[in-house]
Amino acid sequence: MNERIAVLPGDGIGHEVVPATLRVLDAVVDFEYDHVEAGDAVAERTGAPLPEETLEAVSTADATLFGATGETSADVILPLREAVDSFVNIRPARTHPGVDAVQPDTDIVILRENTEGVYAGIEDRLSEDVSTLTRLVTQSASRRLGEFACEYVEANDHDGFTIAHKNNVMRVTDGLFVDTIEEVATEHGVDVDDAYMDAMATHLAMDPSQYDVIVCPNLAGDVLSDLAAGLVGGLGLLPSANVGSDRGIFEPVHGCAPDIAGEGVANPAATMFSAAMLLEFLDYDSEADAVRSAVESTLEDGPRTPDLGGSATTDDVADAVIDRLP
């Protein structure tokens, strides 16, 4: 039976990079698509950003290809991640031959905790003057992330991982996060070290080669991955996989880019790399390799969108990628 993929472009350039990526997917697999909607435009039209049928489609699909949302991100992507029990967001950042990079030696993978931290949504407005945010860190989520990190480094031949944290300030929450993950790494015999996330940001900007796999809390992962995108050529290049026990949501790291939305010039590479991660997740390994190689080859000497210094359209890039598939 064909895999059933929920397709959710979201807002802005999501409506450009997702269709371009579906053309590439259609050239290598025969999936059944369930087209659904959510985001700012849906909220404006209906009053609610995440329709029930979208939640249902994503909760039951084999995987979801997601574009981007804007103002309603918290109301869309956070419940969707919860719906597929996605406890980790995998965000690889590496340089690509032919693409100018601030740091050409970047090859890191960020494993971002995906359910809690300051993104748990526990915020309050206590008075005109005072607002609060509760930072949730549990031993169970930290353990689950630690287990995943150990299995990930073992399966992908990494030497170990570095935990990014701020346990000198957030002593209780990041204390629990670091202690739990270190304990799991010791149980697995996996090498682990740690770094303060602020110092890590400086190290990443100056010499990213000192890091390989980084395991971090939710907000730190969101910020560090955008920093990593800046090192390798921009947000148009970074994919991500929200992985749960048996479902996943695959999305570019970038947002809906209202400044260029509608012009047809958004870089689809991040979404295409995300589609390659989706294929891998569903065990279509050779198709994943084919898509990844075709996108790499296009980045190296094919048409480029304006973010990479070219004048090609999103569809020109998709055409070139499809031409380079085996």
Taking CB under 6 A as the rule, does residue 252 contact ligand GGG? yes
Who contacts 283 (Cβ-Cβ below 8 Å, separation ≥6)?
none
Smallest gap from residue 77 Cβ to ligand GGG (A): 5
- Minimum CB separation of residue 111 from ligand GGG in Å reads 14
Question: Two tokens at 167?
Answer: 């346990």
Closer of 14 and 302 to ligand GGG (Cβ): 14
The Cα 18–Cα 8 span in angstroms is: 8
Q: Which is nearer to ligand GGG, 270 or 288 (CB)?
A: 270
Stretch that binds ligand GGG, among 68-76, 260-268, 282-290, 300-308 (CB under 6 A): 68-76
CB atoms closer than 10 angstroms to residue 76: 26
User: Which residues are CB-contacts of 59 (< 8 A; sequence separation ≥ 6)?
Assistant: 83, 84, 247
Helix or strand holding residue 226 (H, E): helix 218-232
Please identify, using beta-carbon distances, which residue of 29 and 241 lies nearer to ligand GGG.
241
Site string for ligand GGG, 198-237 (x = CB under 6 A): ------------------------x---------------
Reported in sequence order, the residue ranges of the chain that DSSP labels E, i.e. its strands, are: 4-10, 32-35, 63-68, 88-94, 107-113, 123-125, 131-133, 160-165, 191-196, 213-216, 239-243, 248-252
Q: Kindly state whether residue 251 participates in binding ligand GGG, applying the rule CB under 6 A.
A: yes
CA 149 to chain centre: 16
Tell me how far apart the alpha carbons of residues 99 and 101 are, in angstroms, rounded to a whole number: 6
Contact residue for ligand GGG among 117, 217, 234, 255 (CB under 6 A): 255
Radius of gyration, alpha carbons of the chain: 19
CB of 240 to ligand GGG, least distance (A): 7
Between residues 175 and 244, which has the closer beta carbon with respect to ligand GGG? 244
Nearer CB in complex with ligand GGG: 40/194: 40
Q: Which stretch binds ligand GGG (CB under 6 A): 54-62, 120-128, 171-179, 247-255?
A: 247-255
Asked whether 321 and 24 are in contact (CB, 8 A), the reply is yes
- Choices 24-32, 66-74, 186-194, 289-297 (CB under 6 A): range interacting with ligand GGG: 66-74
Query: Judged by CB under 6 A, does residue 40 bind ligand GGG?
Result: no
Strand-pair category, 213-216 with 160-165: parallel
Closest-by-Cβ residue to ligand GGG is 68
Question: How many residues contact ligand GGG, by CB under 6 A?
Answer: 8
- Please give the Cα distance from 92 to 221 (Å, whole number): 11
Provide the angle, in degrees to the nearest 10, between the axes of the packed helices 14-28 and 269-281: 50
Window 76-95: residues binding ligand GGG (CB under 6 A): 77
- CB 255 → ligand GGG: shortest distance, Å? 4
49 binds ligand GGG (CB under 6 A): no
* List of residues contacting ligand GGG (CB under 6 A): 68-69, 73, 77, 222, 251-252, 255
